Amino acid sequence: MTTTRAYNVRVTVGSSLVAGIVLAGGRSVRMGAAKAGLEWHGSTLLRRTAGVVARGVDGPVVVVRAPGQGLPALPPAVEVIDDPVAGRGPLQGIASGLAAVAGRAPIALVCAVDLPLLHPAFLRRVARELRADAALDVALPVALGHAQPLAAAYRTTLVPRITGLLDAGRLRPGMLFERSRVLTLDETALLADPLLAAVDPRLDSLCNVNTPEEYREARARPAPAVQVRCYGALATGVDTGPRTVRAATLHAAAAAAGVVLGRSVVSVLDEGTGIDRTVSDPGTPLVAGDALAFLPRAEHC
């Protein structure tokens, strides 16, 4: 029941909410340490992934952990739930996450915790398919050599079907896809989105880190290049135009611009979508293509 779409068509985004689910309960056997707490440019892998997911959706964001698992700090708006049963793999986490958001969003993007290069534009691109076609159950990227069930969009109505598979001992996500209406998205289809093609042309969003070597290689990459500009009393020096800095968080971008975040400063984020938004959490993750404006509060009001 799988079809493939690989053509250059823009699909109109509907109005249905999309939730975000981050799976953090894996055993991290090959890594040798819990991935969620790994450092990432002054933050943690979980904080970054959850924050990027929050930027890519318009509904609730849920982190699914193993029973009793400790997690690093998260923004207050991010919910944390426990898997009811340990050791049943990602399909159990998908079921738990979908069940947690089912009453609030018809669609959810499910992501693994170990996607430090994830971009909100990738998430919006994948979710667009389910928003546009109510007949689909799953939008599944198939890129970088294999299917990507932990960077895919799912209908929340799939919970009973997944639960039935789990109860029958069928734990692989592929078994769900065999029983669902799945649209696969290859690299051509994904990069047909102009914004995604501009900010993530190699689909680094799908690069996960499973081993210490993969983590070190990914962590060695420079932080995203973002533009910053200061206005009013915050603008100093002769050159007051925008400049590019390397920063993975709002705090790092402000520090690079010589700005001390606080109640007197307003930070405005331009994501390249045509809609600017005010951000205040210093840990807000930044990605390629972002542009930040820092203004004194009195001048913003």
Query: Which structural domain, as residue segments, surrounds residue 256?
Result: 225-300
Domain boundary among 194, 214, 234: 214
Scan for tokens 């997911």, then name that residue: 53
Mean pLDDT of the chain: 90
Position 6 scores a pLDDT of 32
- Do 6 and 82 sit in the same domain of this protein? yes
More confident residue, 270 or 75: 270
**Cβ contact 246:221 at 8 Å:** no
Domain boundary among 156, 181, 214: 214
Burial of 160 (0-12, 13-18, 19+ CB in 10 A): exposed
- Do 137 and 76 sit in the same domain of this protein? yes
**Cβ contact 210:114 at 8 Å:** yes
Q: CATH number for the domain including 271?
A: 3.10.20.30
Helix axes 120-132, 45-56, angle to 10 degrees: 40
- Do 144 and 264 sit in the same domain of this protein? no
Number of domains in the chain: 2
Helices (H), the chain: 45-56, 89-101, 120-132, 159-167, 173-177, 187-190, 194-199, 212-219, 250-256, 297-300
Tens-digit pLDDT profile for residues 201-223: 999 999 999 999 999 999 999 99
- In the chain, pLDDT over 70 holds for what percent of residues? 91
Does 13 have pLDDT greater than 80? no
Confidence band (pLDDT; 50, 70, 90) for 237? low
Position 68 scores a pLDDT of 84
Q: CATH number for the domain including 196?
A: 3.90.550.10
Burial of 299 (0-12, 13-18, 19+ CB in 10 A): exposed
Position 200 scores a pLDDT of 97
- Do 84 and 198 sit in the same domain of this protein? yes
Rounded CA gap, 191 and 228, in Å?
Answer: 27
Does 9 have pLDDT greater than 50? no
Domain boundary among 164, 187, 214: 214
- Do 137 and 189 sit in the same domain of this protein? yes
The candidate with the shortest Cα–Cα distance to 89, out of 212, 218, 176, is: 176
**Cβ contact 166:88 at 8 Å:** yes
CA-to-CA separations, 247 to 76, 114, 193, 228, in angstroms, rounded: 23, 19, 25, 10
Q: Which of 91-105, 211-225, 239-253 is predicted with the least confidence, judged by mean pLDDT?
A: 239-253
Rounded CA gap, 267 and 272, in Å?
Answer: 16
- Do 202 and 123 sit in the same domain of this protein? yes
Q: Compute the average pLDDT of residues 265-287.
A: 94
Position 295 scores a pLDDT of 94
Question: What is the pairing mode between strands 182-185 and 138-143?
Answer: parallel
Q: Phi and psi for 192 in degrees, rounded to 5?
A: -70, -20
Rounded CA gap, 257 and 270, in Å?
Answer: 16
Position 29 scores a pLDDT of 67
**Cβ contact 122:190 at 8 Å:** yes
Confidence band (pLDDT; 50, 70, 90) for 47? very high
- Do 210 and 232 sit in the same domain of this protein? no
Report yes or no on 219 lying in a domain: no
Position 87 scores a pLDDT of 73
Which SS3 state, helix, strand or coil, does residue 204 take? helix
Burial of 146 (0-12, 13-18, 19+ CB in 10 A): exposed
CA-to-CA separations, 139 to 22, 222, 277, in angstroms, rounded: 17, 31, 28
Q: Transcribe 179-195 into DSSP letters.
A: TS-EEEE-HHHHTTSHH
Tell if the pTM clears 0.75, that is, is over it.
Answer: yes
